Chain A
Amino acid sequence: MSFYLADMFRAFGPATFIAALYAGLLLKAARTTLAAEERLRRHLTFIAVPALIAGIAIGAFAFFWADGAAALTEAKMVMEGACLAAALLAILSAPFALRFSAARFVALPIFALLVAILTAQAALVFADDTTTHALTATSVLNTELILNVLAVVIAAAALGAFAAAVSHAASRTPLIGLGLLVLAVLIEAAVWGGDVMLGLLQVGWLQVTSARVSLVAKADYYAEAAVYAELVLALILGAAFLLRAPRPAVLSDDLAGQARTERRKLKAFALGERRWFRGLAAAMTFIVASMLYYDLYASQPPRLSEATPVSVDDQGTVRIPIDQVKDGTLHRFAYVSSDGHRVRFFLINRFDAEHVAIGVVYDACMICGDKGYIQRGNEIICIACNVRIFVPSIGKAGGCNPIPLKHEEANGDIVIAQLELEKGARFFSEVVSTDVTDPVTGEPLVNTDAPFSFEFEGRTYYFTGEDSYDAFRDAPEKYSHEPLAPARVSWQPED
């Protein structure tokens, strides 16, 4: 349920905000007479509803038409390009719409376009996001299905309330509303622009350069935060609106007659504005709370249990007494390789106390990578793909089983050679800072500060300068055969 709620807000939130700001500016321009305002309100509703439906239909159609990842990328690219154009049109027309009431004949069609295109894009994103989540596990009506559908409905209602409140607030603070509209579009434009560029790179219409790739990567990195940025803008709008709103008047005793009636009207107006503000605040609180709940809590993978750091003895081995690890729980250890990779591995008794058979494996999977495994009750679970691992099979390769780690048993100890742990460096991406030496010059340096690095045969080498880097790259075999130096561990285990 929380996923659908959060994702509705993520997908449709920015679109709602931008369209509502624009509608608010139009509303301000029309606030000449009560009838004119009413008429515009009616027009906006009559436009927004079909535009929303059309947008959702377009988005859904595009999603079903786009069979396969490439077609989907193209569809997204086209949609986001259209969004950019529509948003630009809106920004350009907004000052005129605010200034000249006759401009609404242009502004209303632009509003329709804006709503339809932004909705279509959001619907496409939403449809794409939800493919990895099941709305329901079965076609028979069930609790999960109802809650998920309800989440979508509630989110739509919250967005509706948010849109109404934003447009009201923007109509009261039109200049700030205009500024925020520009900012909101800029934020989304960065996201859309990044996606469009990525699409162009993918379909080969744009040549791949490192600058472009880094730009796309940056846009993608910040895309997650974009919706929060939009919410910050909404917060600014709310604050500005609250500051501009009159304070509810006090009906003091010495007032009488006309003055008292006037004061009553002012009070009603102020209370009405307060109500709008509270509505905006409530909608925003709900949106932010449900997104934060999902992003910070519900979507977080379970945490790995703490890994005991191990170091190598003078024989170049790691020894772990079997008695320490035969209780049937997962015992996680971590070794820092000479190139600074934190190699996690775990030991577990595959059978019971009477039949001790210790499985010794890396805390990583060939398919899912180094997310690791957790123990929940009697089950060992791969965090990445959620599959339950058949405990007696731990230590055997295949499926999503943890990668076996070569070891021996001697004198009641599990003995792991340092070389084997060094080999494991390739499976793990986590790097801690450690002292290394430049294989070419022999100079000592800290791996995380090294300006150059090169991966060769599953091991990362670090260099003090470009010269040694180039020298190594040209003939890696020449330098890489150095014996493995014992790693000097210079990191603190996390708590």
Chain B
Amino acid sequence: MLQASSDELEEFETDSESQTRPVIETRGLTKRFGTVTALDHIDLTIRAGEFVSVMGPSGSGKTTFLNLISCLDTPTEGSYLLDGIDVSTFTEKERAVMRRERIGLVFQQFHLIPYLNAQENVMLAQHYHSVVDAEGATRALERVGLADRAHHLPSQLSGGEQQRVCIARALINEPSLILADEPTGNLDAKNEHLVMELFSELHREGRVIVLITHNPELGRRTDRTIWFEHGRRVRRASEAA
């Protein structure tokens, strides 16, 4: 395991990627909680069409990183450009707008509203984005293969199905970026496979997906893996290989 300088990493990225539009660009992104530095000067660029996994042990800062790039939190230092817009100084209201229009979140715990059916859960994202569109919600559910389950409550769906509803919800507002935090953490192998297949398909459709995971298996299915350790980006020997 080697610790790489920012310059090196930058170079590495430039080399490996064709020059498409950057979706995420961070410069010296730092987050401190009191005296603890959770994230330490992260420089990173993710471009359009990339499927990236973020890996690292617990406490390595990958969730903090996810919170920052999903506009749920503000950095202590540094800048973060989403679609070329510097959101690091945005107010909560402005960040809410960014979230609803440019970010789709997929959670390990699904976080579906238990009293709303699958379609309504998708429509909730539409509601906070603009207006509800049942037709569009149905199409999104079709896209994830749940057309016949649209009117089921989350409790009537299996884990895998719930996660697919969650993905449909993340997709519904056509975000610039899909962020998935351990999306298969609560799923069995069969469903894990299904969900990963879905992500791969979405990637092939040209969507930017950032996957946060412990599982190196999953990491291997992405274009590129970014490693975090003690709040810093590190370069793994395996990655270089």
Residue from A33, A253, A267 within 8 A of B131 (CB atoms) = A267
Which residues of chain B come closer than 8 Å to A34, judged between CB atoms?
Answer: 93-94, 97
Which residues of chain A come closer than 8 Å to B7, judged between CB atoms?
Answer: none
Tell whether, in the assembled complex, residue A265 and residue B97 are in contact, meaning their CB atoms are under 8 Å apart.
Answer: no
Q: How many A-B residue pairs have CB under 8 A?
A: 42
Chain B interfacial residues counted at CB < 8 A: 17
Contact residues of A: prevailing secondary structure: helix
Tell whether, in the assembled complex, residue B93 and residue A264 are in contact, meaning their CB atoms are under 8 Å apart.
Answer: no
A420 in contact (CB, < 8 A): no
A261 in contact (CB, < 8 A): yes
Tell whether, in the assembled complex, residue A251 and residue B136 are in contact, meaning their CB atoms are under 8 Å apart.
Answer: yes
B173 in contact (CB, < 8 A): yes
Q: Which of A34, A38, A253, A256 gathers most chain B CB within 10 Å?
A: A34
Which residues of chain A come closer than 8 Å to B90, judged between CB atoms?
Answer: 35
- A256→B142 CA distance, assembly (Å): 13
> Chain A: which residue is nearest B130 at the CB level?
A268
Give per-residue flags for B68-107: 1 if the beta carbon is below 8 A from chain A beta carbons, else 0: 0000000000000000000000110110010001000000
Give per-residue flags for A440-452: 1 if the beta carbon is below 8 A from chain B beta carbons, else 0: 0000000000000
Which residues of chain A come closer than 8 Å to B8, judged between CB atoms?
Answer: none
Given known A-B contacts A251-B133, A251-B136, A256-B139, A264 and B126 have beta carbons under 8 A apart: yes
Tell whether, in the assembled complex, residue B93 and residue A38 are in contact, meaning their CB atoms are under 8 Å apart.
Answer: yes
- A267→B126 CA distance, assembly (Å): 12
Which residues of chain A come closer than 8 Å to B136, judged between CB atoms?
Answer: 251, 260-261, 264
Tell whether, in the assembled complex, residue A35 and residue B91 are in contact, meaning their CB atoms are under 8 Å apart.
Answer: yes
Which residues of chain B come closer than 8 Å to A253, judged between CB atoms?
Answer: 135
A271 in contact (CB, < 8 A): yes
The residues of B with any CB-CB pair to A shorter than 8 Å are: 90-91, 93-94, 97, 101, 126, 129-131, 133, 135-136, 139, 172-174
- Distance (whole angstroms) from the CB of A408 to the closest CB of chain B: 85
A258 in contact (CB, < 8 A): yes
Tell whether, in the assembled complex, residue B139 and residue A264 are in contact, meaning their CB atoms are under 8 Å apart.
Answer: no
Which residues of chain B come closer than 8 Å to A204, judged between CB atoms?
Answer: none
> Chain B: which residue is nearest A258 at the CB level?
B174
User: What 20 additional pairs, Cβ within 8 angstroms, besides A260-B133, A267-B131?
Assistant: A34-B93, A35-B91, A38-B91, A38-B93, A251-B133, A256-B139, A257-B174, A260-B174, A261-B129, A261-B130, A261-B136, A261-B172, A261-B173, A264-B126, A264-B129, A264-B130, A264-B133, A264-B136, A265-B129, A269-B130
Which residues of chain B come closer than 8 Å to A35, judged between CB atoms?
Answer: 90-91, 93-94
Q: Which of B129, B131, B135, B173 gathers most chain A CB within 10 Å?
A: B131
Which residues of chain A come closer than 8 Å to B126, judged between CB atoms?
Answer: 264
Which residues of chain A come closer than 8 Å to B97, judged between CB atoms?
Answer: 34
Q: Which of A253, A256, A260, A261 gathers most chain B CB within 10 Å?
A: A261
A-B contact pairs, 11 of them (CB 8 A): A34-B93, A35-B93, A257-B174, A258-B174, A260-B136, A261-B129, A261-B172, A264-B126, A264-B131, A267-B131, A271-B131
